[in-house]
Amino acid sequence: MLHVVLVQFGAGLVVCAVAGVAGGLPAALTALLGTMACTVPNGLFAMNLALLARTRRPGTPSAAADVPSALPLLVGEFCKLLLTVGLLALLVWGYKDVVWLALIATVCAVLLVQPLALAWPRR
């Protein structure tokens, strides 16, 4: 899962560079902050998945103990979504020179590259 977060961060940095060339420093900073607002919650969720994969449920057969329960997964996803929305709201509220095109392009690039990163074969 960590490779997906790294691919998302790389896509955000590419958008940040393009935004910096096209729109200057405010656009680049907006894109960088948007990248962080989307990748940090995804990184925390990936760490949550790694922890869930390592924990075993006591009192279950070994095959069933390796399968994580759906509830912690859904709670982690809900927390990830809340944190992403909260960080994006904080960005819009706290940074006065928001370049909306750079922010929207960054969020789209970071979130849309996830299926590609999951489908890409790892070495």
Q: Is the pTM of this model over 0.85?
A: no
Task: Summarize pLDDT for 59-103 with one digit per residue, the tens.
Answer: 655 555 555 577 888 888 999 999 999 999 999 999 999 999 999
Task: Read off the pLDDT band of 119 (50, 70, 90).
Answer: confident
Q: Which residue has the tokens 């006591």?
A: 58
What residues does each domain of the chain span?
A: 2-55+66-119
Task: Summarize pLDDT for 7-54 with one digit per residue, the tens.
Answer: 999 999 999 999 999 999 999 999 999 999 999 999 999 898 888 777
Query: Distances from the Cα of 72 to the Cαs of 17, 55, 68, 81, in angstroms?
Result: 37, 12, 8, 14
